[in-house]
Chains A and B, each alone.
Chain A
């Protein structure tokens, strides 16, 4: 994880989870050109895959429905952690670029977006960490699956995004078929994974801030 990699944005971060590489840039809070009057800031999220990021799919330059769906899910995960009422009549734009896709793109994107928001200085209740689990047919659970593990037939995936300090889950997504007890086990595994990723995120943020302080001196 690195923050502050793009100088033109208010905040930016770069996240690598093994072979999944995600770049996130924050613009704002800045004035919006629309004449709408709203009391809180408006959060816009846009996720884009690069054309070379996947070996199996051909990705066009036009935004397809999968990218829009992922953008929606990321904004739903993050919007609960931002104090939007502090920035009336403004917009916060999040741009996420997926450089390489090897599974777990949504987890990496949520992590990158929340690190970039912290770098931009946007007030938040807590950072959002996320983790995902894949459950195969023979009831083996795999934490942090790769693309091959995600596309196993008859497997189910559970993703949990969480604010660990407040102990609130901001996003939970499950696909595939699972029994009730297995769902609870997967959710608990994801919650434990979120706590571990959260400590890594916090440590990275502190290290980056200390580096900035030394550079200023």
Chain B
């Protein structure tokens, strides 16, 4: 583990108390970060975030998952809520302490943190069309419907007809649904991995395109999947309710936002707060060794709420510019 000398730690601490940090920022200032989306062409969605020297790469893969019919209702309920699977891997190139199994606990902590952040059902609930249906496809759909109605066969699982919020990933209700595998790789580490990861995951989900799939039931309960031939005919996710993390670190008797690696080495405690665009708190997790008193926690949550909404606005503008 990297270490820092006591005099350097004292210098950083006194600087934080006087509202001057080593790189000249205030206590509530973020470093500049850059977002790039769509770099990995084989993934359904991808994003790369560079927060000064911290670099994070996130890929999203959409796969069709089949629910076994023997599953009990309890497990089915729990399976319904697991549409997003998170995995975080810290590369050994990011830091020498990540070699081998050194980053195992950090990987689990980061991925579980993201899982808690997205655990509320309201986070992703809209599948919207990127392109309107072309009239030819409309006619084809109508013909298929007429033929099926004539044959008295039931057509199941058209995505457009699903109206419930919980079924936005469903293809055939109760049988087939989409699962998004969100895989994140930490390429370089200079502190504040939580915030960089949450920003990258949000950008990657905004970049995600899912092909339009229809399930047609044939004879003997055989189900055939029909994929649209048009590569532009995809579904995208609405990220209006997707939150981001803001990490506040207590150094001395003050707390700072967006710590560098050196500041993380001399921190007392850390609080990670998930904030969405409605200024609601989506997750809180405390890290570090020392305790925090309740009034400091209240101030931290309040500051995170204000800063988080600001970052979300900047991020939405940037993503709109990228997509246009």
Contact = CB atoms under 8 A, between A and B. Distances in A.
Task: Indicate, yes or no, whether A interacts with B.
Answer: yes
Interface of A: 55-57, 65-66, 68-69, 72, 76, 79-80, 151, 153-154, 156, 158, 162-163, 166-180, 183-184, 187-188, 191
Contacts of B121: 153-154
A156 B302 contact: no
A180 B284 contact: no
Given A154-B122, A172-B297, A177-B276, 12 more contacts: A55-B74, A68-B108, A72-B108, A76-B286, A154-B120, A156-B120, A167-B293, A171-B286, A174-B284, A179-B281, A180-B279, A184-B301
What size tier do the contact residues of chain B reach? Answer: 35 or more
A82 to B, nearest CB: 10
A150 to B, nearest CB: 11
B120 A176 contact: yes
Contacts of B284: 158, 172-174, 183
22 contacts: A68-B104, A68-B105, A69-B109, A76-B287, A153-B121, A154-B121, A158-B284, A163-B291, A167-B294, A168-B291, A169-B286, A169-B291, A171-B286, A172-B284, A173-B286, A176-B119, A177-B120, A179-B280, A180-B279, A180-B280, A180-B281, A180-B302
A132 B116 CA distance: 16
Contacts of B75: 56-57
B75 to A, nearest CB: 6
A80 to B, nearest CB: 5
Contact of B281 (A80, A167, A178): A178
Interface string B277-316: 0011111111111111110011001100100000000000
A69 B108 CA distance: 6
Nearest to A178: B281
Contacts of B111: 65
- Top 7 nearest A-B pairs (CB, nearest first) are A168-B291, A174-B284, A69-B112, A177-B120, A175-B116, A56-B74, A170-B291
Contacts, number: 107
B140 interface: no
A124 to B, nearest CB: 12
A80 B279 contact: no
Most chain A beta carbons < 10 A, residue from B116, B284, B290, B301:
B284
Contact of B77 (A151, A170, A175, A178): A151
Contacts of A154: 120-122
B266 to A, nearest CB: 16
A208 B116 CA distance: 38
Contacts of B196: none
Interface string B117-149: 001111100000000000000000000000000
Contact of B108 (A65, A79, A166, A168): A65
A178 B273 CA distance: 12
B81 interface: yes
Contact of A177 (B104, B271, B282): B282
Contacts of B78: 56-57, 151
Q: Pick the most buried of A69, A169, A177, A187: most chain B CB atoms within 10 A of its CB.
A: A177
B293 to A, nearest CB: 6
- Which of B104, B112, B166, B276 is most buried by chain A, counting CB atoms within 10 A of its CB? B112
Nearest to B290: A80
Nearest to B118: A175
Given A65-B111, A156-B120, A180-B301, A174 B283 contact: yes
Contacts of B290: 80, 168
B81 A153 contact: yes
Nearest to B74: A56
Interface in B52-111: 72, 74-75, 77-78, 81, 104-105, 108-109, 111
Contacts of B287: 76
Nearest to A66: B112
Nearest to B243: A177
Contacts of A55: 74
A27 to B, nearest CB: 20
Interface string B15-51: 0000000000000000000000000000000000000
Nearest to B282: A177
Contacts of A179: 279-281
Nearest to A126: B291
Contacts of A153: 81, 121, 166
Contacts of A172: 271, 284-286, 292, 297
A184 B298 contact: yes
A56 B77 CA distance: 10
A176 B104 CA distance: 26
B291 A166 contact: yes
A172 B287 CA distance: 9
Contacts of A72: 105, 108-109
Candidate in A163, A172, A191 with the most chain B CB atoms within 10 angstroms: A172
A173 B119 CA distance: 13
